[in-house]
Amino acid sequence: RAIVLPERLLSSQASPEHRPRPGVSASELGQYPPERIRNFSIIAHVDHGKSTLADRLLELTGTIQKGHGAQYLDKLQVEKERGITVKAQTATMFYKHTVENPESHGTDSSSYLLNLIDTPGHVDFSYEVSRSLAACQGALLVVDAAQGVQAQTIANFYLAFESNLSIIPVINKIDQPTADPDNVKAQLKRLFDIDPSEALLTSAKTGQGLSQVLPAVIERIPCPPGNCDSPVRMLLLDSYYDEYKGVICHVAIVDGAMRKGDKISSAATGRTYEVFDVGIMHPELTPTGVLYTGQVGYVITGMRSTKEARIGDTLHQAKTIVEPLPGFKPVRHMVFSGVYPADGSDFEALSHAIEKLTCNDASVSVTKETSTALGMGFRCGFLGLLHMDVFHQRLEQEYGAQVISTIPTVPYIFEYGDESKVQIENPAALSFNAGKRITACWEPTVIATIIIPSMLGL
Ligand SMILES: Nc1nc2c(ncn2[C@@H]2O[C@H](COP(=O)(O)OP(=O)(O)OP(=O)(O)O)[C@@H](O)[C@H]2O)c(=O)[nH]1
């Protein structure tokens, strides 16, 4: 089946070993039963080298060609400008794993389908990490060999640990002069009880140690569970809006298979859709006509409204009753601010832009509000200040929306004399009622554990 590959993937300069495969057929995909599939995330603290490592693994498997420029999976303009990952991205790789056969004194090799999910490192985007982990059975925990374990290393380790994932520690940047892998191994042992012999030592910059990574993924991460013979059941991991195709959903197939033309239903809304297109993220959308048990890919069903694609929803074969999958924990918004069109007459355009962007970023809450000074607008809840900043920048860059935002505030809880409580996300919403006296007011506080490196002599 012919597919159109982006121009950069067709470059004649690519050496044969690094030239990408020309699309993937349904029968080819059918050669990968769950035993030959591994789904894993790359998690780490900010800047410890996740995206660079992801690039190297994509090159190693010939999924992308060398010399494409840095951080292939960081596609958004905001990601390129800030040098950070804000959206988790999936890429399917095909890899031949060779092992020695002691009986024949030769080698055996089998092909594997590996789904790699690159995740953001900043705490504001940890919702992206937890959603990505739901599609995985294992994670590469990348730690900078010089900086050692940092706050997000700990937070992400626990996200993976609580999801029962097999964790492979990868001590990266060993080429740095200040690298101290032994110290990092000791930290991993002390903080997470990880056996030092399990750590892989790599440099995503020079390529050192990278050849051990994918064999470790295959040998140490279990294959996805699931029943190939059941009616199809899948988890909706993410979605985004495409001007021409409508809503594109990223899904992890838990049971059964989904084919083009099938009818699937949403457990959340009860609506039924026809599967117009289905395929893998390779990392560009690559139609395959089918997705089998354990595979991660995309589906286009003609959903027009982003409200229909509920992240964490279970999609399943129409006219069957299935047990919905656990879904995701609801997000807790930490920062609220008003978003208004710079020109009051642009309200409809802003409303449209916000609806599409929230399809791609389900962690933002949006409610309409009106201000006497700014007119009609929205009150948006974010996971933190960086998240808010990135949302504004994406509205402007991806949708051309010029916005005015009000000073961010945290949610406050007010208690009245009659002991009733109200949560206030917008100061204007606090009404002073003569009959009701405010007796207490709380702002959010955290109970924190601070881990500091022990210094010699202290
Ligand atoms: N010396 C050295 N630098 C590296 C290595 N791996 C990555 N880097 C550099 O470290 C910086 C951060 O790398 P990224 O891959 O963007 O890190 P990240 O963890 O994906 O960052 P976020 O997505 O923002 O969390 C970049 O400047 C990379 O070039 C390595 O092995 N050695």
Between these two residues, 1 and 310, which has the higher pLDDT value?
310
CA distances from 178 to 48, 69, 181, 189, 408 (A): 14, 26, 10, 20, 40
- In short, whether 172's Cβ falls inside 6 Å of ligand 1 is yes
- pTM for this prediction: 0.85
Number of neighbouring beta carbons within 10 Å of residue 423: 10
- Annotated binding-site residue? 250: no
Number of neighbouring beta carbons within 10 Å of residue 181: 19
Of 163, 111, 113, 121, whose CA–CA distance to 139 is shortest? 163
Domain residue ranges of the chain, discontinuous segments joined by +? 26-220, 233-317, 335-405, 410-457
Task: Kindly give the distance from the C-alpha atom of residue 181 to the centroid of ligand 1, in angstroms, as a whole number.
Answer: 17
- In short, whether 50's Cβ falls inside 6 Å of ligand 1 is yes
Backbone angles phi, psi at 397, to 5 degrees: -75, -40
- Annotated binding-site residue? 196: no
Residue 165 above 80 pLDDT?
A: yes
Nearest ligand 1 atom to alpha carbon 70: 29
Task: Kindly give the distance from the C-alpha atom of residue 54 to the centroid of ligand 1, in angstroms, as a whole number.
Answer: 10
Structure tokens at 346: 């642009």
Nearest ligand 1 atom to alpha carbon 121: 25
Structure tokens at 325: 């999958």
CATH class of residue range 335-405 = alpha beta
Nearest ligand 1 atom to alpha carbon 48: 19
Q: What string of DSSP letters covers 280-339?
A: EESSSEEE-SEE-TT-EEEEE----SGGG--TTPEEEETT---PPP---PPP---EEEEE
Lowest-confidence range among 12-21, 31-40, 230-239, 256-265? Answer: 12-21
Q: How many CA atoms lie within 13 A of 431 on its CB side?
A: 5
- In short, whether 153's Cβ falls inside 6 Å of ligand 1 is no
Task: Kindly give the distance from the C-alpha atom of residue 435 to the centroid of ligand 1, in angstroms, as a whole number.
Answer: 58
Average pLDDT, integer, range 168-194? 97
Rounded-to-integer distance, Cα 170 and Cα 192, Å: 14
Of 195, 300, 284, 291, whose CA–CA distance to 245 is shortest? 300
**Strand pairing of 296-300 and 246-255?**
antiparallel
**Average confidence score pLDDT of the chain:** 87
Sorted by sequence, the CB contacts under 8 Å of residue 222 that are 6+ apart come out as 137, 138, 166
Which amino acid, one-letter code, is at 210?
L
**Strand pairing of 200-201 and 166-172?**
parallel
Same fold, 26-220 and 233-317: no
- Annotated binding-site residue? 121: yes
Residues 364-408 have pLDDT tens digits of 999 999 988 889 999 999 999 999 999 999 999 988 999 999 999
Task: Reduce the DSSP state of residue 9 to 3 states and report it.
Answer: helix
- Annotated binding-site residue? 227: no
- Annotated binding-site residue? 124: no
- Annotated binding-site residue? 122: yes
- Annotated binding-site residue? 174: yes
Task: Reduce the DSSP state of residue 155 to 3 states and report it.
Answer: helix
- In short, whether 205's Cβ falls inside 6 Å of ligand 1 is yes
* CA-closest residue to ligand 1 atom 12: 47
Q: How far is CA 76 from the centre of its chain?
A: 14
Interior angle at CA 154, CA 151 and CA 158, nearest 5: 145
pLDDT of residue 47: 93
- In short, whether 43's Cβ falls inside 6 Å of ligand 1 is no
- In short, whether 51's Cβ falls inside 6 Å of ligand 1 is yes
Pocket test for ligand 1, best of 51, 129, 172 (most atoms within 8 A of CB): 51
Nearest ligand 1 atom to alpha carbon 85: 23
Residues 409-440 have pLDDT tens digits of 999 999 988 888 888 888 777 776 667 788 99
Tokens 């800030």 found at: 82
Between these two residues, 74 and 36, which has the higher pLDDT value?
36
Q: How far is CA 433 from the centre of its chain?
A: 45
Q: How far is CA 52 from the centre of its chain?
A: 16
- Annotated binding-site residue? 195: no
Rounded-to-integer distance, Cα 375 and Cα 371, Å: 5
User: Band of the pLDDT at 140, cuts 50, 70, 90?
Assistant: very high
pLDDT of residue 8: 34
User: Torsion over CA of 42, 383, 122 and 73, rounded to 10 degrees?
Assistant: 50
Average pLDDT, integer, range 28-53? 93
CATH class of residue range 26-220 = alpha beta
- In short, whether 119's Cβ falls inside 6 Å of ligand 1 is no
Tokens 């399943």 found at: 316
User: Torsion over CA of 5, 11, 16 and 21, rounded to 10 degrees?
Assistant: 0
- In short, whether 150's Cβ falls inside 6 Å of ligand 1 is no
* CA-closest residue to ligand 1 atom 27: 47
Superfamily for domain range 233-317: Translation factors (2.40.30.10)
Task: Please count the residues of the chain.
Answer: 458
Buried b / exposed e over 298-320, threshold 16 CB at 10 Å, is bbbbebeebebbbbbbbbbbbee
Sorted by sequence, the CB contacts under 8 Å of residue 69 that are 6+ apart come out as none
Q: What share of the chain is helix, strand, coil (3-state, %, to 5)?
A: 25, 30, 45
- In short, whether 223's Cβ falls inside 6 Å of ligand 1 is no
Q: Which helix (H) or strand (E) covers residue 255, if one does?
A: strand 246-255
